[in-house]
Amino acid sequence: MPYTDRNLAHAVDPDRDVMQFAEADTMRAKSMQERLIVGLDVPTLKEAEKAVRELEGAVSFYKIGYQLAFAGGLDFARELASGGIKVFLDMKLLDIDNTVAKGVENIVRMGVTMLTLHAYPKTMKAAVEAAKGSELCLLGVTVLTSMDEQDMIDAGYEYDPHTLVLRRSEQALHAGMGGIVCSAEEAEAVRRIVGPDMAVVTPGIRPAGSDHGDQKRVVTPAQAIRNGSSHLVVGRPVVAAPDRRAAAEAILAEMRSA
């Protein structure tokens, strides 16, 4: 299903300037918080719980990926979701259609908001069918933000990252996916393909001057918003910061300034 979020629709609505300034500012502040997804890429459940406590009130959307999933993170995802906190389960599924479909059916029961799978046409079709009638937003991972042109050649692809991202975005749209995961470098071009309703979720976010780590296609928080990202995924710049709350608030301030 398309990711239809009223606040998000305002955020990408070209007519939003007609709103009253005060109302627009409040909505923008609220919607920016809903658009920041913090990656709980920490080694233990204890550390994840600590991070969520430290970020309470500032962050309302968390991503749980491989690291935490294999350390009790799936139960933690259920717990957060049942407490009203949005969870993005970053499982990057890819398998035969039947296996993907059965996995998605069970994930639907977890109550999470978003789930990733690799944006292969058959995989997306199987997942969309399995999630039909649910609120789960399925996201197609186009090309990992840690990959550049040479990495694509090494992996046997004929396409450069940008071309493959656009091709897979179009395939995701036709498969009925809820959104796309790509670099914010590609968000503008992706937005033109998928239209205003689909989520365009961008990892590889780095505030100016911060360490890139293994990420190659990186963009600052403000630029990502300007490029049309609906949601920004930020891991290490928040969870590895000495003051996580201050780091998240600085990123939110930058998003709001965009």
Residue 204 is a binding residue for ligand C5P (CB under 6 A): yes
Chain residues 30-49 in contact with ligand C5P, contact rule CB under 6 A: 39, 41
13 vs 188 by CB, closer to ligand C5P: 188
Which of 31, 113, 123, 215 binds ligand C5P (CB under 6 A)? It is 215
Q: What is the 3-state secondary structure (H, E, C) of the chain?
A: CCCCCHHHHHHHCCCHHHCCHHHHHHHHHHHHHHCEEEECCCCCHHHHHHHHHHHECCECEEEECHHHHHHHHHHHHHHHHHCCCEEEEEEEECCCHHHHHHHHHHHHCCCCCEEEEECCHHHHHHHHHHHCCCCCEEEEECCCCCCCHHHHHHCCCCCCHHHHHHHHHHHHHHHCCCEEECCHHHHHHHHHHHCCCCEEEECCECCCCCCCCCCCCCECHHHHHHCCCCEEEECHHHHCCCCHHHHHHHHHHHHHCC
Which of 141, 193, 224, 232 binds ligand C5P (CB under 6 A)? It is 141
Residue 221 is a binding residue for ligand C5P (CB under 6 A): no
Judged by CB under 6 A, which stretch of 54-62, 80-88, 185-193, 229-237 contacts ligand C5P?
229-237
Could you tell me which residues come within 8 angstroms of residue 216 by beta carbon, excluding any fewer than 6 positions away? 145, 146, 147, 148, 151, 204
9 vs 250 by CB, closer to ligand C5P: 250
Contact code string over 68-107 relative to ligand C5P, x by CB under 6 A: ----------------------x-----------------
Catalytic residue among 30, 46, 50, 92: 92
Active-site residue 92, yes or no?
yes
Return d(Cα 170, Cα 190) in angstroms, integer.
Answer: 8
Which of 234, 247, 248, 252 binds ligand C5P (CB under 6 A)? It is 234
28 vs 228 by CB, closer to ligand C5P: 228
- Smallest gap from Cβ 25 to ligand C5P, in A, equals 28
- Smallest gap from Cβ 10 to ligand C5P, in A, equals 26
Which of 38, 55, 144, 224 binds ligand C5P (CB under 6 A)? It is 144
Binding site for ligand C5P (CB under 6 A): 39, 41, 65, 90, 141, 144-145, 181, 203-204, 213, 215, 233-237
| Catalytic residue list | 92
